Amino acid sequence: MRLLLNKIVLLLSTLSALIGLAFLAWILFTLIGKGLSSLHFSLFLNDLIDGGLRNLIVGQFIMAGIASLIGIPVGMMAGIYLQEYGRGRYVRFIRDLSDIMMSAPSIVIGAFVYAIVVVPMHGTSGIAGSIALSIMMIPIVINTTDNMLSLVPRELREAGIALGASKSRVIVDIIIKAAKVGIMTGLLLSFARIIGETAPLLFTSETSNYFSVNLTEAYPSLTVSIYALANDPTSSSRDLAWAASFILTMMVLMINLLGRYITRKKG
């Protein structure tokens, strides 16, 4: 009886794993099937107005890139504070807030940026989109930096100080270096996370049919356009949406795998 029960439970558990894998396979095969059949090289050369995706891919990367330029230094500095400078209660408080912020609904972040950036600027813009993404990114980077620095052995810090190096030198030259691999992976994963975001961009950057380097106007976004295209009843729009989804997912998964590869190789 006990053994039978044991068998049943183990079977059910294995079955759950299979269900999980089946969903992954189903989604990936759908994407590959639909995506590859609509994918043409010309999609990378034309903008959305001419039935291509070039402006959207570039726009999404530019916004995620600017978000990283803001989010990575701020997040890393905050993580450094939590691990190296701060003491006691305040550190715990900020750490908790950062964790909460990491789980805040992304659409709410979008609404916030709408209120503080879009309304004063009288319109959606690439800047607003980048700010929304950077707010999404900061807590993720804090979490990564915090965790990775906590793994650096205390002796390294002491050795640095004993050599007469200043604290900031020790942090930059020794501690960050020691945690380099982990931090790099974390940064890649956080970039992968924000580049696939849609909700915070819906009413901050919106999207645009044209190629644009002007960040003060509505800005081309791959994800927002996927949402619009997929809801469009014409089949050519839907095919384009599938091609865009395929490209987006492949980018995200590649960055993810790259991050894991770095950790495995050096860590």
Which residues 219-238 are close enough to bind other proteins by CB under 8 A? Answer: 223, 226-227, 230-231
Residues 167-196 binding other proteins (CB under 8 A) are 167-168, 171, 189, 192-193, 196
Comparing C-alpha atoms, which of 174, 179, 149, 152 is closest to residue 163? 174
Neighbours of 111 (CB within 10 A): 18
Could you tell me which stretch among 36-44, 51-59, 176-184, 255-263 binds other proteins (CB under 8 A)? 255-263
Are residues 211 and 54 in contact, defined by beta-carbon separation less than 8 angstroms?
yes
# binding residues, other proteins (CB under 8 A): 94
Applying CB under 8 A, which of residues 36, 108, 151, 159 lies at the interface with other proteins?
Answer: 108
Least distance between other proteins and beta carbon 46 (Å) = 22
Alpha helices in the chain (DSSP H): 2-38, 54-80, 88-102, 106-113, 119-121, 126-150, 154-162, 167-169, 176-178, 180-195, 222-230, 235-266
How far apart CA 11 and CA 47 sit, in angstroms, is: 51
Tokens 């960055």 belong to 255
Residue 161 as a binder of other proteins (CB under 8 A): the answer is no
Residue 252 as a binder of other proteins (CB under 8 A): the answer is yes
Residue 26 as a binder of other proteins (CB under 8 A): the answer is yes
Could you tell me which stretch among 37-45, 49-57, 119-127, 173-181 binds other proteins (CB under 8 A)? 119-127
**Half-sphere exposure (Cβ direction) of 232: Cα atoms closer than 13 Å:** 15
Least distance between other proteins and beta carbon 211 (Å) = 20
How far from chain centre, in Å, is Cα 179? 20
Least distance between other proteins and beta carbon 158 (Å) = 18
10 Å CB burial of residue 267 (0-12, 13-18, 19+) is exposed
Least distance between other proteins and beta carbon 197 (Å) = 7
Residue 51 as a binder of other proteins (CB under 8 A): the answer is no
The two tokens of residue 82 are 């939590």
Residue 2 as a binder of other proteins (CB under 8 A): the answer is yes
Residue 109 as a binder of other proteins (CB under 8 A): the answer is yes
How far apart CA 246 and CA 35 sit, in angstroms, is: 5
Instruction: Put residue 203 in one of left, alpha, beta given phi > 0 → left and psi -120 to 50 → alpha.
Output: alpha
Applying CB under 8 A, which of residues 56, 66, 149, 202 lies at the interface with other proteins?
Answer: 202
Neighbours of 213 (CB within 10 A): 9
Least distance between other proteins and beta carbon 51 (Å) = 19
Residue 3 as a binder of other proteins (CB under 8 A): the answer is yes
Residue 100 as a binder of other proteins (CB under 8 A): the answer is yes
Could you tell me which stretch among 43-51, 155-163, 176-184, 201-209 binds other proteins (CB under 8 A)? 201-209
The two tokens of residue 91 are 């550190």
Least distance between other proteins and beta carbon 72 (Å) = 11
Residues 128-157 binding other proteins (CB under 8 A) are 135, 138-139, 142, 150
